[in-house]
Chains A and B, each alone.
Chain A
C-alpha cells in the first residue's frame, strides 16, 4: 500500500473493526455451547489418597438414619472443590461445599452465585446429574465429581 495512494484511515479502521467482530463471532460460534460432561480438562482427582481426600466412609450414622459423607477433593484449575452430603433415610437432604476456590475476588463472586444453585440442583435431582452453572464451569465440574464420589461411598 503506497502512502500516497488515497486512503482514509476511517475506512480502514471500520474495515478492521468489522473483520475483528466477525472473527470473534466466528470463533465463539465454533466452540461447543453446552458443557460436555466428560470433555472438560479437569485433572482427575489427583492423589485421591492424599490427606482428607477420601471422605468415603467418614460419615457418622446416627440412630435416626442420618448419615454424613464427605466426597473426594477434586482439583480444578482454580483450586480444590469438595462437598459433604447429608442423607436421611436414603434421601439427599443437604450438600455443603467444604472447599472451593477463594483465591481471588472473581472466584468468590462466582462461588456466591454458583454454589447455591449447584446445591439446589443436586437436592432436586437427588443425584450428581446436575447442570453446569454458566460462568462457573470448573467449579461445577469439581462439585459434580465430588458429589458423585460422596454418593458412591454412601451407597457402597
Chain B
C-alpha cells in the first residue's frame, strides 16, 4: 500500500481558524434579535407586561437559535474544513440545549402574560391561543416535534437509542422549524407591520434553507454522480481492523487532504441507511481512496463483509485536522488504537520533522504497521510504539516520559486521535508537559 508521493512542502504558517469570527457573527445576530424587541417595545407595564416582554425575547431568541442550529449542520465547507466538523457539531449541540430551554420559557411566559392581560385562566388562554390564533396549530405541532428531538438527543436517551432512530428523529427538525416559522411572522409584534424586520427574518431562514439544499443535497449528489465510487477491495489489517479501498473517477478533484474524513454509505447489504464518518487512512490517489475501520459492531462490523463492486455514497471531504493547523516545523502525531487512520495519512504528508507515537494494546493490534515503518524509513521519521507490558501493564505515558522521549516537546505541534478517554488523558499530560493549547490538534466524532 505504500507509495512515495511528492516530497513534503516547506512548512507554511498555520492558517487562522475563522471560528472566532463565526462565533462573533452568531452572537451579533442574537444581539440584533434582542434589539428588534427593544426597538419595538415602548413600555413594559405591570406583571403582564413583564411576562409577555420576557416571553417575546425568549421567542425571538428561540426563532433565531433554530435557524442557527440548522445552519451549523448544513455542512458548509468553511465550517467543516476550517473550523472542524466536531467543533461545529458541539456548537450545534450547545445551541440545541439552549433552544430546548428557551422554548418552554417562551410558551409559559407568553401564556401567563396573555392570561394576566386578559384576566383569563391560563388554561382558557392556552386553548384560545392554540386553536384560534393564526398559524398556532402548526407551531404547536412543530413544538412537540422539537421537544421529541431534544429528548432523544439527551445523553441519557442517546445511550439507549440506536443511532438510526436518533438520526431519523433528528431529521424531523427541518419540518418542525418550518412549521414553527409562520407564527413568528403572523403573531410576532416585532414583525407585524415592520417590513424591514420581516424581510430580514425571511432572509435568515431562506438563507439557511439555501445552505442546506446546496451543501447537504446538491453537493453530495453532484459528487457521487461525478466520481462513481465503488468498493474495490477489503483487507484485514489487524484483528477486527479492516481497510476498504474505494475506487472512483478523478478523485483528485475532490481535493481531499490527509487527516480529513468522508461520511460513507455503502449501498446494499442493508447498510445504505446509515452514513458513518471514517477518516482516510492514506492520502487519496487520483482513482483510489482508503479508509481503515475497526469492527466495533453494527455498521463498522459489516464493513469487513463488504463485497468488491458495492456502490458507495460518500459526502465530504470534511474535517480540519490537516497540515493547515501546523504552526511549527516539528510535529508529534499521537494515535490511540484505530485513531491511527488519519495519523497514518498525516505521517506520510505532513511537512517538516514528524514523530509518530502509536498506542495499542499488543503488537498484534497494531494496524498498518508495515506501512508506517516504510514511511518512517523513507522520510527518516521516528515511530514510537506504546504497548502494554507482557503482564498487561499499561505503558507509562506521562508528561515526564513524553518530554524525555520527544526532545523539545513544547515546540511541537501535536496531532491527537484516539478514543475519548485516551485523548483526554493525553491532552492533560501534554498540557502538563508545556505544550500550548493552540498547538494540540484533535478531532473527534463524539460530541
- Residues of A at the B interface (CB closer than 8 Å) are 2-6, 9, 12-13, 16-17, 20, 23-25, 27-28, 31-36, 39-41, 77-78, 104-106, 109-110, 112-113, 132, 134-137
Contact = CB atoms under 8 A, between A and B. Distances in A.
Given A106-B133, A109-B118, A40 B97 contact: no
Contacts of A112: 118
B117 A105 contact: no
Contacts of B119: 113
Contacts of A135: 45, 48-49, 52, 113-114, 116-118
Contact of A3 (B45, B86, B186): B86
Contacts of B46: 33, 134
A41 B93 CA distance: 41
Nearest to B44: A31
6 contacts: A4-B440, A28-B50, A40-B42, A113-B119, A134-B48, A135-B113
Contact of A137 (B43, B57, B61, B193): B43
B437 interface: yes
Main SS at interface, chain B = helix
B53 interface: yes
B187 A106 contact: yes
Given A4-B423, A5-B427, A77-B193, 19 more contacts: A4-B440, A6-B424, A9-B97, A13-B97, A13-B98, A16-B101, A20-B102, A24-B57, A27-B38, A28-B44, A104-B134, A104-B187, A105-B132, A112-B118, A134-B46, A134-B48, A135-B117, A136-B117, A137-B43
B98 to A, nearest CB: 6
Interface string B186-198: 1100001100000
Contacts of A77: 192-193
Contacts of B44: 28, 31-33
Given A4-B442, A27-B57, A35 B45 contact: yes
B51 to A, nearest CB: 9
Nearest to B49: A134
Nearest to A108: B132
B117 A113 contact: yes
Interface of B: 34, 37-38, 41-46, 48-50, 52-54, 57-58, 61, 86-87, 90, 93-94, 97-98, 101-102, 113-114, 116-119, 128, 132-134, 186-187, 192-193, 416, 423-424, 427-428, 437, 440, 442, 444
Chain B CB within 10 Å, residue with most, of A16, A25, A28, A135: A135
Contacts of A20: 58, 61, 102
Contacts of B94: 9, 12-13, 16
B53 A31 contact: yes
B340 to A, nearest CB: 18
B321 to A, nearest CB: 12
A67 to B, nearest CB: 34
Nearest to B187: A106
A110 B54 CA distance: 19
B261 to A, nearest CB: 16
Contacts of B93: 9
B34 A27 contact: yes
A77 B98 CA distance: 33
A34 B114 CA distance: 18
A22 B57 CA distance: 12
Contacts of B49: 33, 134-135
Contacts of A28: 44, 50, 53-54
B101 A134 contact: no
Given A3-B87, A16-B98, A105 B134 contact: yes
Chain A CB within 10 Å, residue with most, of B42, B102, B128, B133: B42
A34 B37 CA distance: 18
Chain A CB within 10 Å, residue with most, of B43, B192, B416, B424: B43
Given A4-B427, A9-B97, A24-B58, A113 B118 contact: yes
B187 A134 contact: no
Contacts of B187: 104, 106
A134 B46 CA distance: 7
A13 B101 contact: yes
A39 B250 CA distance: 68
Contacts of B97: 9, 13
B45 A134 contact: yes
A5 B432 CA distance: 13
Contacts of B102: 20
